Chains A and B, each alone.
Chain A
Amino acid sequence: MVGIITYGVYIPRYRIKVEEIARVWGANAADITGGLGVFEKSVPDLDEDAATIAVEAARNALLRRHVDPKEIGAVYVGSESHPYAVKPTACTVGEAIGATPNMTAADYEFACKAGTAAIQTCMGLVKSKMIPYGVAIGSDVSQGAPGDALEYTAAAGGAAYVIGNDDPIATIHHTCSFTTDTPDFWRREGQDYPRHGGRFTGDPGYFKHVKGASNLLLEQTKKTPKDFTYAVFHQPNAKFPQKAAKDLGFTAEQIKPGLVVPRLGNTYSGASPVGLAATLDIAKPGDTIFVCSFGSGAGSDAFDIEVTDAIAGDKFRRDAAPGVEQQLKNPIYLDYARYAQHKGKLVMQS
């Protein structure tokens, strides 16, 4: 059965608190943390970008389980912040993990859901036996314009999933998608920061698509929220996934392990994949996980996942790479000036 062979996560160690950003813009931090449910967010180091994060996440995945790099037939990296407009991040990752040259590769963009779209592509290639293994990554050094509401949450991080047929640690029983042309959030070529439709990003954007894909998956699998041990929803802030989960009939306990946004921020393409990874970090054989991503523009991918005995077997060593909780610990806090430097918001003379 097609499923997750191994997975890895990378979160930069730096953080900035929401109250520090609020201080700079003269905003009331309590209003923002109360409204978003986010308290701090990760910040990349000076030399980190979506490619280095993707490489670290892929390497962490391979530390947990040996996969012959020559059997990796595809690498897909989903991101909104690929370092190059033309020149694939996926090639850098393929080279770094030794999978080149007999592989296919491409960069994906579907706002915050390109990572789960990459998982679906790998599932197709693996199920059709075109390749033994595929690597799907969601990785971002998310952009939010100075002073914009997005700046309080736009974070850095990513997760990598090796997809294959042979002895997965978690079987993906089913996936489906819900996609429309909805202009809720966008960034044009050459622009540094995305723009968005304010409150339009809520009901007609996030909620319509997350509920659309979630209900479709439940309908197609003839399952109910009670059939799942855990659930993970795309998390641009803490309020949206909490409301979506409640409206769909999932409990606060089901989404708790995968709700990492309060301390991590929104890692855009990395958000649902990191939330799933945090859930897999604590999952036991037999646990079932419901996943629904969301990407503006807009669409959602939903997954019905079941953890297998292999997660506790000898081929897979969960402790061989740091888990999400471990990477959220011991942060180094930056003030806004250092943060601006790290994010390249200070433009210096060359």
Chain B
Amino acid sequence: MRDVAVIGIGCTRFGEKWSESFRDMFVEAGALALEDAQLSGEKIDAMYVGNMSAGRFIEQEHIGALIADYAGMATRHIPATRVEAACASGGLAFRQAVIAVASGMEDIVVAAGVEKMTDVEPGASTDALTGAADREWEGFVGATFPGLYAMIAQDYMHKYGMTREQLAQVAVKNHYNGARNPIAQFQQEITLNTVLKSTMVAEPLRLFDCSPITDGAAAVIVAPLDRAREFTDTPIKVLATAQASDSIALHDRRDISTLDATVAAGQRAFKMAKLSHKDINMVEVHDCFSIAEICAIEDLGFCKKGTAGKFTADGETALGGKIPVNTSGGLKACGHPVGATGIKQVNEIVQQLRGTAGKRQIDGATIGMTHNVGGTGATVAVHILGRV
């Protein structure tokens, strides 16, 4: 297997992009990534695109071909493949691109992610997202994602005694980081009270515990490590790619407040990279809800089960803490265009490792991790990236 490196990244601003279409967004992200890699489109051998639900959101399927076409690559007939794993679509698209290069099958491959979510009314987007859960056993009986993650939060708080205030600190910290990220949907800091007094969505989760509905696209370009310096002075090596699955329905899990797929993917990634959690300088985790970040940092091994609330409230996950989590602002503040999130996470870690993350830069960062979840944890993708 060949070593693989990221040679280019690009990301649109995230937010309610009323005047930009699905096509506009992925073309912009792709062009930015090509420009970053100082690469002409003629060099691209293949594309993988993460997208959860264009069929529901914009009534468009066949996204692989669409992207190749609008990226100007259809006339070269390159293979272009859509990857779907709900909110982990982007993470899996990146993994497919890495595998394609590692195998020797392709050389220069684009991994992209895109979602246009604001063309439908909020009820319709909530329902489309519910497709990431078990439609027959969860969705049809009324469960929504806020409801499912609220059950995780209830169970977690009951078992481990985390306080409502500790949980709210996840959002406060992510907004602080988002305020330092020029592509973030929400670039304003908030206080504990902003979270605690916001509208109740599903007990105990309030509005500011929930990631928003977002439009956006992101792209990265990967190449064999031994060719990477043809394109960039700062190639970022893919040290590990891991993926795991679990039951699609939350109620079928061994323990609903531990995401076993996160545990499995995390362990596989550390084993592949021959590293441990102590070697990671910062991690982008999947905080679709504040409780998801709490579970993620424990399940990846950054703190002991049941302690992440205190760990967060103590500032250990903030910029300058023991393990900075979601320096991009996470899904909460940077926004969550579901198919694009996994690729945006890679974008963020690459920026940190290149030392170009501006006001949210972690000094001397050499190794970073991404964690992308589909549904309530039925699919998890974990990647470890490092400077070379």
Q: Which residues of A contact B (CB under 8 A)?
A: 28, 31, 197-200, 203-204
Which residue on A lies nearest to B199, using beta carbons?
A31
Q: Would A203 and B121 be within 8 Å (CB), given that A28-B199, A28-B200, A31-B199 are in contact?
A: no
Residue from the list B118, B199, B200 in contact with A200, Cβ < 8 A: B118
Bound: A203/B20 CA distance, A: 14
Q: Are A204 and B199 interface neighbours, CB within 8 A?
A: no
- Judged by a CB distance under 8 angstroms, whether B358 is at the interface is no
A-B contact pairs, 7 of them (CB 8 A): A31-B199, A197-B121, A198-B121, A198-B122, A199-B16, A199-B118, A204-B18
Bound: A85/B18 CA distance, A: 33
Which residue on A lies nearest to B200, using beta carbons?
A28
Bound: A31/B118 CA distance, A: 23
SS of B interface (majority): loop
Write out the residue numbers on chain B whose beta carbons fall within 8 Å of the beta carbon of A198: 121-122
Which residue on A lies nearest to B207, using beta carbons?
A31
Write out the residue numbers on chain A whose beta carbons fall within 8 Å of the beta carbon of B19: 204
Q: Are A203 and B199 interface neighbours, CB within 8 A?
A: no
Bound: A199/B19 CA distance, A: 14
B183-200 residues at the A interface, CB under 8 angstroms: 199-200
Bound: A197/B121 CA distance, A: 6
Minimum Cβ distance to chain B for residue A292 (Å): 21
Write out the residue numbers on chain A whose beta carbons fall within 8 Å of the beta carbon of B199: 28, 31
Bound: A31/B197 CA distance, A: 9
Bound: A204/B19 CA distance, A: 8
Minimum Cβ distance to chain A for residue B46 (Å): 36
Write out the residue numbers on chain B whose beta carbons fall within 8 Å of the beta carbon of A28: 199-200
Write out the residue numbers on chain A whose beta carbons fall within 8 Å of the beta carbon of B121: 197-198
Minimum Cβ distance to chain A for residue B358 (Å): 27
Minimum Cβ distance to chain B for residue A180 (Å): 12
Bound: A282/B118 CA distance, A: 43
Bound: A302/B337 CA distance, A: 38
Write out the residue numbers on chain A whose beta carbons fall within 8 Å of the beta carbon of B18: 200, 203-204
Bound: A204/B215 CA distance, A: 15
The digit string for B118-158, where 1 denotes a CB below 8 A from any CB of A, is 10011000000000000000000000000000000000000
Bound: A228/B357 CA distance, A: 47
Q: Which residues of B contact A (CB under 8 A)?
A: 16, 18-19, 118, 121-122, 199-200
Write out the residue numbers on chain A whose beta carbons fall within 8 Å of the beta carbon of B122: 198-199
Which residue on B lies nearest to A27, using beta carbons?
B199
Minimum Cβ distance to chain A for residue B193 (Å): 14
Bound: A28/B199 CA distance, A: 8
Write out the residue numbers on chain B whose beta carbons fall within 8 Å of the beta carbon of A199: 16, 118, 122
Given contacts A28-B200, A197-B121, 11 further A-B pairs with CB under 8 A are A28-B199, A31-B199, A198-B121, A198-B122, A199-B16, A199-B118, A200-B18, A200-B118, A203-B18, A204-B18, A204-B19
Bound: A134/B118 CA distance, A: 43
Minimum Cβ distance to chain A for residue B194 (Å): 13
Minimum Cβ distance to chain A for residue B271 (Å): 45
Bound: A6/B121 CA distance, A: 43
Write out the residue numbers on chain B whose beta carbons fall within 8 Å of the beta carbon of A204: 18-19
Which residue on B lies nearest to A182, using beta carbons?
B18
Minimum Cβ distance to chain A for residue B336 (Å): 16
Write out the residue numbers on chain B whose beta carbons fall within 8 Å of the beta carbon of A203: 16, 18
Minimum Cβ distance to chain B for residue A297 (Å): 16
Bound: A197/B122 CA distance, A: 9
Minimum Cβ distance to chain A for residue B112 (Å): 26
Bound: A281/B108 CA distance, A: 71
Minimum Cβ distance to chain B for residue A194 (Å): 13
Most B CB contacts (10 A, CB to CB) among A198, A200, A203, A204 go to A198
Which residue on B lies nearest to A205, using beta carbons?
B18
Minimum Cβ distance to chain B for residue A19 (Å): 15
Q: Which 5 A-B pairs have the closest CB atoms?
A: A204-B18, A31-B199, A198-B121, A198-B122, A199-B16
Minimum Cβ distance to chain A for residue B197 (Å): 9
Bound: A248/B148 CA distance, A: 43
Bound: A198/B118 CA distance, A: 10
Most A CB contacts (10 A, CB to CB) among B18, B199, B200 go to B18
Bound: A197/B199 CA distance, A: 21
Bound: A204/B119 CA distance, A: 12
Bound: A23/B122 CA distance, A: 22
Bound: A31/B121 CA distance, A: 21
Bound: A199/B214 CA distance, A: 12
Bound: A28/B198 CA distance, A: 11
Which residue on A lies nearest to B16, using beta carbons?
A199
Bound: A197/B123 CA distance, A: 11
Write out the residue numbers on chain B whose beta carbons fall within 8 Å of the beta carbon of A197: 121
Bound: A104/B19 CA distance, A: 41
Write out the residue numbers on chain B whose beta carbons fall within 8 Å of the beta carbon of A31: 199
Bound: A64/B199 CA distance, A: 47
Write out the residue numbers on chain A whose beta carbons fall within 8 Å of the beta carbon of B118: 199-200
Write out the residue numbers on chain A whose beta carbons fall within 8 Å of the beta carbon of B16: 199, 203
Minimum Cβ distance to chain B for residue A186 (Å): 12
Bound: A204/B118 CA distance, A: 12
Write out the residue numbers on chain A whose beta carbons fall within 8 Å of the beta carbon of B200: 28
Minimum Cβ distance to chain B for residue A32 (Å): 9
Bound: A163/B133 CA distance, A: 61
Minimum Cβ distance to chain B for residue A212 (Å): 14
Bound: A199/B122 CA distance, A: 9
Bound: A203/B15 CA distance, A: 12
Bound: A28/B19 CA distance, A: 33
Minimum Cβ distance to chain B for residue A174 (Å): 30
Bound: A31/B18 CA distance, A: 26
Bound: A2/B19 CA distance, A: 39
Minimum Cβ distance to chain A for residue B291 (Å): 22
Most A CB contacts (10 A, CB to CB) among B118, B122, B199, B200 go to B199
Bound: A198/B119 CA distance, A: 10
Minimum Cβ distance to chain A for residue B284 (Å): 27
